[in-house]
Amino acid sequence: MHGPARTARGLLFLLAILLAVACGGDRKEDALPAGSKVLALGDSLTAPHGVKPGEDWPALLAQKTGWVVINAGISGNTSAQALERLPALLEEHQPQLVLVSLGGNDMLRKLSQEQTVANLGRMLDLARASGAKAVLLATPKPSIAGAVFNSLSPADFYADVAKDKKVPLIKDALPEVLSDTALKSDQLHPNAAGHALLGDKIHTQLKKFGFAG
């Protein structure tokens, strides 16, 4: 093979590699069509706590996407309790996507972080074993300074769980909403405006991941 031809072929090969790497880094999930079942597994931050049915963020997400979003939030639930509920929920609803938003009550009750991390990981594993995709939502860590200055941040272990399990993480939606007193019905829970903004933020992130059109 002559020099110029060899050089051109080498350049084309290098370009193909670069394109493959770029596409791999930007790869998005397939969008879920209207009618897809999505399970929102959580605690009182997911349940319509302090708001009317239909004002909770899972219901608002359903309106934005056309998905059938099952609100499986139960006030007071720990990660262990939600993990116990999950197999039956997966069997009953057979969702295409599971949104996991747990851990807040574990932190408030000062339960073992190691066990919380293990429970979250197990939930994500069970969701994917059922054939569903999974997304993790971070809950803010309890903080006196955060409560006083209305500046909450996500607990660090959520990023570790998401990285370990290779699932998308919605990191800032809950902390940002719960940092604004105008968006809360009490010290811990979003009001109707807070749920509306949560629905917007979660929808925006799911669009970035590729799940929502």
Which residues are designated catalytic? 44, 186, 189
Q: Which residue from 108, 125, 124, 107 is spatially nearest to 116, judged by alpha carbons?
A: 107
Contact 135, 168 (CB under 8 A): yes
What's the distance, Cα to Cα, between the start and end of the chain in Å?
Answer: 48
Q: In what order do the strands lie in the sheet with 169-170?
A: 68-73, 37-42, 97-101, 133-137, 169-170
Handedness of CA 53, 56, 62, 68 (dihedral sign): negative
Q: Which two tokens stand for residue 102?
A: 């747990």
CA distance 35 to 96: 10
φ/ψ region of 162 (left if φ > 0, alpha if ψ in -120 to 50, else beta) reads: alpha
Q: To 10 degrees, what angle do helices 79-93 and 113-129 make? A: 10
What's the alpha-carbon Rg for the chain, to the nearest Å? Answer: 20
